[in-house]
């Protein structure tokens, strides 16, 4: 998986006013927590963080104030609902070799059997347990030839070595829905219902 180095600054100012000042400088307020330690409030460079977050479950190597290096993964990202810019990020402290619980995207390949059936993603992301420094970005499963009523369970999805399911193996991840038949249009009206009153 990708590891991205980002220089961060510790911060002591909190509240909406402080957060607005940070964002005006094209930076993002964040919090680093984990391993029972006190949360560390950070200011992170907005552009570098935005690029890093394009990779699912990216591993971030934080250089804090040029003194401390920590590894973290993003756990919660808040964005402006209209403009989409980053407003705040929560980062989870991790260590090399440590197991973490994350969600990875489920991608499909292949074509369903002919018939116009629909593939439903019951789960868009699959909960797994993986080593913090070896989190897969996604898993790919074949849907080639599946027909209506077929489904793919969590246990059917091949996972990389060292990665374990974080849900029951019988959990449905993908299922094929039958194509809906078009309802016939009613071309004939119901006659004789209305009668004129004298």
Nearest to 57 by CA among 157, 143, 163, 178: 163
- Predicted confidence band at 185 (pLDDT cuts at 50, 70, 90)? low
Asked if the model's pLDDT at residue 120 lies above 80, the reply is yes
Contact by Cβ (8 Å): 113, 147: yes
pTM of the model: 0.71
Q: What is the pLDDT of residue 183?
A: 55
Average pLDDT score, the chain: 86
Asked if the model's pLDDT at residue 187 lies above 50, the reply is yes
Nearest to 62 by CA among 77, 76, 78, 48: 48
Nearest to 149 by CA among 103, 117, 121: 117
């Amino acid at each position: 998986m990708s590891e991205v180095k980002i220089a961060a600054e510790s911060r002591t100012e909190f509240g909406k006013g402080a957060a607005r000042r940070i964002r005006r400088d094209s930076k993002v307020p964040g919090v680093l927590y984990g391993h029972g330690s006190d949360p560390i409030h950070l200011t992170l460079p907005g552009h570098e963080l935005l690029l890093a977050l394009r990779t699912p479950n990216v591993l971030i190597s934080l250089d804090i104030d040029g003194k401390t290096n920590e590894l973290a993964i993003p756990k919660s990202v808040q964005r402006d609902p209209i403009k989409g810019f980053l407003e705040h990020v929560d980062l989870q402290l991790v260590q090399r070799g440590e197991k973490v619980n994350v969600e990875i995207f489920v991608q499909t390949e292949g074509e369903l059997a002919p018939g116009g059936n629909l593939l439903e993603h019951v789960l868009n992301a699959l909960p797994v347990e993986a080593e913090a420094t070896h989190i897969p970005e996604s898993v790919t499963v074949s849907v080639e030839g599946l027909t209506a009523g077929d489904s793919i369970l969590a246990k059917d999805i091949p996972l990389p070595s060292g990665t374990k399911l974080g849900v029951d193996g019988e959990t449905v991840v993908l299922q094929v829905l039958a194509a809906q038949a078009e309802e016939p249009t009613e071309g004939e009206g119901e006659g004789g219902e209305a009668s004129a009153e004298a």
